[in-house]
Amino acid sequence: MLLAFTLNSFVYFSFGNIYSSKILNYSDFSQQFHSGIYQYRVLSGYFLFWIYDFLSVLQIDYRMFRFKFFEADSEPQMYFSFYILNTFFMVLSAIILVLISEIKNFIGTNSEKILIVAVSILVMASTQFVIVPYDISSYFFLLLFFYFLLKYLEKSSVSMLILLMILMVISTLNRESSALSLSLAATLLYSKFGLKKEMIQPILLLAVTFIAVYFGMRLINETFSTNDGNLLLQNFTDPKNMLGILFWIIFFVFTIFLSKDEKTKRNILIFHLFSIPYIIMCFYSGIIYEIRLYIPIFLTSLLLGRTEQTRIH
């Protein structure tokens, strides 16, 4: 928790942000995040507005933080709101990472567990040159889903499956990358049960939950946009985006190197296979230089590399 708090504080207080400088005021943020695909990521947006409104009451003198901005209309209050929101979820993510590492199916020495948690926090913090309200919270919800999924695999129960479905609803309201929770569930359920009803039934229920929220948000907003344009060619020609691809490759290989054995390596590959729809959308409509797009895959793969499941025949 202290590592997460300290690193995130250094990221926000020690560097001037160039990449996200255009949205560091209330007006521009509201305009961007109430349009396109951003309008469906309601949960984190509401969190940010609540924090911003609360800070308005406190009348803080932001000069003491000595923020440096690249845009004249940047608001210290908005920037500080981002800091509070993302630091809060970073600390929560650190807690869940530790809890996951203490589950009996998570294999590793104490040093290895500390290494995996620390690396996860370092990577989450360092990719925040893109400042948005929903990334760190989405990692938290994914990790929380991972934790309760492992509990479900220990003892399958209806109540635990309902809890996973509730988490799917909440995380999808936060960001559509919650689809990776489906990929994770499919990977671990297949690893334990194979193509049996014990795998298929939970996946169908979770998939229906995701689809219901995903399309329900679009019905409410009376729009059905799934992306904000085709960036596929740009992602394979722009030097910065090619650097992003290099990041994906290096950190994928890193998870393979840290995995426990051949079975966990196979699970990482299977997870990537189940994640192909997300990966395709990242390359089609995302900016690959924004390496945050790979972080949920990286975190899940890093944990899968140490998660042991015994196949039930």
pLDDT at 195: 84
What is the DSSP secondary-structure string of the chain?
A: -HHHHHHHHHHHHSS--STTGGG-SHHHHHHHTTSGGGGG-HHHHHHHHHHHHHHHHHT--GGGGT---SSTT--HHHHHHHHHHHHHHHHHHHHHHHHHHTSTTB---HHHHHHHHHHHHHHHHHTTTS--SSHHHHHHHHHHHHHHHHHHHHS--HHHHHHHHHHHHHHHHH-GGGHHHHHHHHHHHHHHH-SSHHHHHHHHHHHHHHHHHHHHHHHHHT-----S---HHHHTTSHHHHHHHHHHHHHHHHHHHH-SSHHHHHHHHHHHHHTHHHHHHHHHHS-TT-GGGGHHHHHHHHHHTTB--PPP-
* Residue pLDDT tens, the chain, 313 long: 999 999 999 999 988 888 888 888 888 888 877 777 778 888 988 999 999 999 999 989 988 888 888 888 889 999 999 999 999 999 999 999 999 999 989 999 999 999 999 999 999 999 999 999 999 999 999 999 999 999 999 888 899 999 999 999 999 999 999 999 999 999 999 998 888 888 899 999 999 999 999 988 888 876 766 655 788 899 999 999 999 999 999 999 999 999 999 999 999 999 999 999 999 999 998 999 999 999 999 999 999 999 987 766 5
How confident is the model at residue 312, as a pLDDT? 64
Q: Cα–Cα distance between 110 and 113 in angstroms, integer?
A: 5
- Number of other residues whose CB lies within 10 A of the CB of residue 217: 17
Please state, in angstroms and rounded to a whole number, the distance separating the CA atoms of residues 109 and 260. Answer: 11
Residue 129 and residue 169: Cα distance in Å, rounded?
A: 28
Going from N- to C-terminal start, the domains of the chain cover: 2-304
pLDDT for position 313: 56
Instruction: Output the pLDDT for position 205.
Output: 96
* Residue 218, token pair as written in the block: 């679009």
The burial class, CB within 10 Å (0-12 / 13-18 / 19+), for 202 is buried
Instruction: Show the CA angle centred on residue 7, arms to residues 144 and 239, nearest 5°.
Output: 90
Question: What confidence score (pLDDT) does residue 189 get?
Answer: 95
pLDDT at position 226 is 60
Q: What's residue 32's pLDDT?
A: 79
pLDDT of residue 41: 84
pLDDT of residue 309: 77
Give the per-residue pLDDT at 198: 86
Q: What is the 3-state secondary structure (H, E, C) of 40-91?
A: HCHHHHHHHHHHHHHHHHHCCCHHHHCCCCCCCCCCHHHHHHHHHHHHHHHH
Which residue has 């049960």 as its token pair? 193
Tracing tokens 């479900």 back to the chain, one arrives at 152
Phi and psi, residue 203, nearest 5°: -65, -40
Residue among 188, 150, 213 at smallest CA distance from 274: 188
Backbone φ and ψ for 106, nearest 5 degrees, come out as: -90, 115
Rounded Cα–Cα distance for residues 40 and 281 (Å): 16
What confidence score (pLDDT) does residue 122 get? 96
Q: Say if CB 122 and CB 7 are below 8 A apart.
A: yes
CA-nearest of 211, 181, 185 to 198 is 185
